[in-house]
A and B are shown apart, each in its own frame.
Chain A
């Protein structure tokens, strides 16, 4: 029997700390995960793109998943992202996540292929019928028509087919695309979790989004929690203030994501090492610029320092 899980709020997706030789820093990662839980993360989700997922080996992803589950120790739900270039790897990671006691998996049809709707359907069904875990999918349409897009119709068919299909990470950030999914999903399966890929929540929370996977929580967990509390209280004025500040942070971090984010973590007293190639590691000049902006945004002064 499936354990029901409730996903809501600004959920934290930890980065992957690296040692100076670019090897995966398991101890650092455990500290990172624990930091998030102690600072109010309602769930932990790993390894998203921000965690350099595609630059980790499958063995590292399994190791990290084990560390995440052990460190969280059931305090909050843990979802494991199993998207890879090869569907066989995704399937392997999904089975591993179930074996080690993760609470859910997040999956997508393999990237870089412009998969047809039928191919996405088959991919998701294959993975979601192999495991018993609750399954989230990741809607990632790109502007030029590439990417992996879940239309309303595809979402409807998947809900119809899969009892363990519980939610969608939505990275469309687009009123029409969002509503194509939400109006179908929330009416077919009340409680279906629509989780924004970045905390663009003010536009989506009134339309039924239950939370987001955080982009900025490693820097500004207090801001994330304040933002979600304002949304739940329908305090739109405060929510706007938080949303615009998070939007500013996102502008700082989105280029070469997560290089700048990892760089900015040094200023917060939580160094997590370099970013793996082909992504750059933030330069000294970039760090100075980030430090200045974080001060202007009042982040340095209001957010936790150190672990």
Chain B
């Protein structure tokens, strides 16, 4: 049997109504937009889908809704990260029952346990399911615990269904060590590029990508991905620079100390004619002046003209 490889994975945002409830009518439109615009799989709710702002019941309901809406057209990857091990384990079990194709988890949120406990946390989540399991490396600026390549090697030994790493560290050294070391222990071990930076990971031999900016610029990301798949890394440079430019604008907008980009993504979605509301508190939406500045900068990006407008 061919091992599961998710390919180009879109990470949808989660829309909220003014009363802070999840806006499922819009969520359905978002999912359909991604499926029409190149998603080979969906991962949800990733950090850009405000997973941390959703309550446990909402996370389950959101996944159930997405699986029903997708109706098997593409695999749905369930992101189950939490602070407590048992909470994340139960969420993973629920994801498997619901029909997710794979389970993703970060190291525990908030706590900074010793490496052995981080490995324990992730191993318990992974071994609670039979689905392919991916561990996510957090961004370097995140407040959470780091995922090191040594931890990944230990997890490969302990978790038979560990399929790979989703890399948001963007760290060349980590990627090199995970790909070369991981495949020595488990042939076919995968590295999925996280956060829209595809070229470096693919040149090193990575397998696919999870792209949170696909709600804004699916055409551009598709083109970078296609070039990477054909090993045309040199040719992908200009477009990867464009992606980096968009990423920069999104991150720099908003008040987040971590530059999480949540306010920027939703502002850009609206600008592209896909209104998804604003992030849940405590994330502050862009004020009027910031929004004006953001839109002016984004409208100067020539490549956005080739992107779909509206739903």
Chain A residues packing against B (C-beta within 8 Å): 143, 145, 152, 173-180, 182-183, 187, 200, 202-208, 234, 236, 239-240, 243-244, 247-248, 250-251
Contact = CB atoms under 8 A, between A and B. Distances in A.
A243 B236 contact: no
Contact of A208 (B179, B180, B237): B237
Interface stretch (B87-95, B103-111, B199-207): B199-207
B145 interface: no
Nearest to B184: A244
Contact of B203 (A173, A180, A206, A251): A206
B210 interface: no
B226 interface: no
A179 B197 contact: yes
B233 A182 contact: no
A182 B175 CA distance: 20
Interface string B275-305: 0000000000000000000000000000000
Nearest to B195: A176
A13 B197 CA distance: 30
30 contacts: A152-B248, A173-B171, A173-B172, A174-B171, A176-B247, A177-B170, A179-B197, A180-B244, A183-B244, A187-B241, A202-B204, A203-B176, A203-B201, A204-B200, A206-B200, A206-B203, A206-B236, A207-B199, A207-B237, A207-B240, A207-B241, A208-B237, A236-B203, A236-B231, A240-B204, A240-B205, A244-B179, A244-B180, A247-B176, A248-B180
B306 interface: no
A187 B199 CA distance: 18
Contacts of B171: 173-174
A40 B203 CA distance: 25
A239 B237 CA distance: 18
Nearest to B198: A175
Contacts of A175: 170, 172, 197, 199-201
A203 B191 CA distance: 14
A176 B197 CA distance: 7
B176 A244 contact: yes
Contacts of A183: 241, 244-245
A248 B231 CA distance: 24
A133 B140 CA distance: 35
Contacts of A174: 140, 169-172
Contacts, number: 85
A175 B197 CA distance: 7
Given A179-B241, A240-B205, A247 B170 contact: no
Contact of A143 (B140, B175, B237): B140
Nearest to B231: A236
Given A174-B170, A247-B177, 8 more contacts: A173-B172, A175-B170, A175-B201, A200-B172, A203-B176, A204-B172, A236-B231, A247-B180
B25 interface: no
Nearest to A179: B244
Contacts of A179: 197, 240-241, 244
Interface string B187-228: 000000001010111011100000000000000000000000
Interface of B: 140-141, 169-173, 175-177, 179-180, 195, 197, 199-201, 203-205, 231, 233-234, 236-237, 240-241, 244-245, 247-248
Contacts of B237: 206-208
Contacts of A176: 170, 195, 197, 244, 247
Contacts of A204: 172, 200
Contacts of B195: 176
A217 to B, nearest CB: 18
B205 to A, nearest CB: 6
B177 A251 contact: yes
Given A180-B248, A206-B233, A206-B236, A173 B180 contact: no
Q: 10 tightest CB-CB pairs across the interface, nearest first?
A: A206-B233, A203-B200, A175-B197, A244-B180, A179-B244, A183-B241, A175-B170, A247-B176, A173-B172, A200-B172
A202 B203 contact: yes
Contacts of A143: 140
A203 B241 contact: no
Contacts of B175: 203
B197 A236 contact: no
Contacts of A234: 233-234
A97 to B, nearest CB: 30
A187 B169 CA distance: 26
A206 B180 contact: no
B244 to A, nearest CB: 4
B172 A203 contact: yes
A179 B199 CA distance: 11
Nearest to A203: B200
B140 A206 contact: no
Tell which of B170, B172, B240 has the most Cβ of chain A within 10 Å: B172
A57 B134 CA distance: 50
Contact of B204 (A243, A248, A250): A243
A152 B248 CA distance: 10
B209 to A, nearest CB: 12
A247 to B, nearest CB: 4
Nearest to A196: B172
A108 to B, nearest CB: 20
A251 B172 CA distance: 13
Contacts of B203: 202-203, 205-206, 236, 239
